[in-house]
Amino acid sequence: MKSLTVGLAQIYPKLGDVRANCELHMQFVERAATHAPRVDVLIFPELSLTGYTLQDLVREVAMRPTAEHPAFAAMLDASRRLDLVVGFAEVDERGRFFTSAAYLSQGKVVHLHRKVYLPTYALFDEGRYFDLGESVRAFDTRFGRFGILICEDFWHASPPYLAWLDGADVLILTSSSPGRGLGYPGKLASSRFVETVNQAYAALFGSYVVHVNRCGFEDGLNFWGGSTVFNPDGDLIAQAPYFDEALVVTQVHLDQIRRTRTRLPLLRDERPEVTLRELQRILSERSG
């Protein structure tokens, strides 16, 4: 049976302290690498190496995703033990900043995703500090074809759809989601919404949807944790606790994707050319 063991590293990063966060990552790497069963892919949340509400700290903590940066070098080195998804503030060669997540394996960067949608409303101010990512791509790993999206990217329906059509069978979603909304019993409104959406993606795409959220506080914002894995049938198969740090390990059975899609051939029957044609019409009408 084709399966892999996924680790959800639901951590509490320290705001602006890359060195402390690097150590925290290494602790989770050690736990995941010595876990039984051994973790194949360990996933950290959005901006896991830097903290979330960086504001003017962005330029101080932003890094190039290369071995020249000591923290990134440590991550690359750790990726020889197990594959990693890490989050960080990225600076490019021209001094532009991005909210990025990298898939690392065997000491190399396999894929880099730059957050496409930057929330700049209500409690969010990301557009003030970061530039927009411009692409959504699935990518091949030694376990299968994955996609990575960051937080607001998957509040929009199009990036998960694109990753699916580009071949992603496992959708990796990372976030630093602040908890809010008291209207429902048992969980925060924000948790309820994210869980509903992720379950829907899993069911609509017949894919695994792995969501890793952070926990802890930044100036009164509570990051609610509650990381989840939904299987291709839309069933919840693993969930980390709300509000606390945790390493949650679960098996992802890639064969289940084929079985689900045989029963429900939504991918086979999807007609992206209709989508494209209609999108072109909508865009041309809008510009006209």
Helical ranges in the chain per DSSP H: 18-33, 58-61, 70-78, 126-129, 158-165, 189-205, 254-263, 266-269, 272-287
Cβ nearer to another protein, comparing 185 with 288: 185
Q: CA angle 82-76-96, nearest 5°?
A: 130
**Nearest approach, Cβ of residue 179 and another protein (Å):** 7
**Nearest approach, Cβ of residue 250 and another protein (Å):** 24
Q: CA angle 16-17-23, nearest 5°?
A: 145
> Whole-angstrom Cα distance, residue 186 to residue 192?
9
Cβ nearer to another protein, comparing 99 with 231: 99
**Nearest approach, Cβ of residue 187 and another protein (Å):** 7
Cβ nearer to another protein, comparing 55 with 66: 55
Q: Which residues lie near another protein (CB under 8 A)?
A: 15-16, 53, 55-57, 179, 182-188, 216-220, 222, 242-244
Residue 285 structure tokens: 């009408």
Please name which of 236, 210, 247, 212 lies closest in space to residue 226, comparing C-alpha atoms.
212
**Nearest approach, Cβ of residue 226 and another protein (Å):** 12
Cβ nearer to another protein, comparing 159 with 216: 216
- φ/ψ bin of 35: left (φ > 0), alpha (ψ from -120 to 50), beta (otherwise): beta
Q: Given the DSSP bridges, would you call strands 236-239 and 228-230 parallel, antiparallel or unpaired? A: antiparallel
**Nearest approach, Cβ of residue 97 and another protein (Å):** 14
Cβ nearer to another protein, comparing 184 with 263: 184
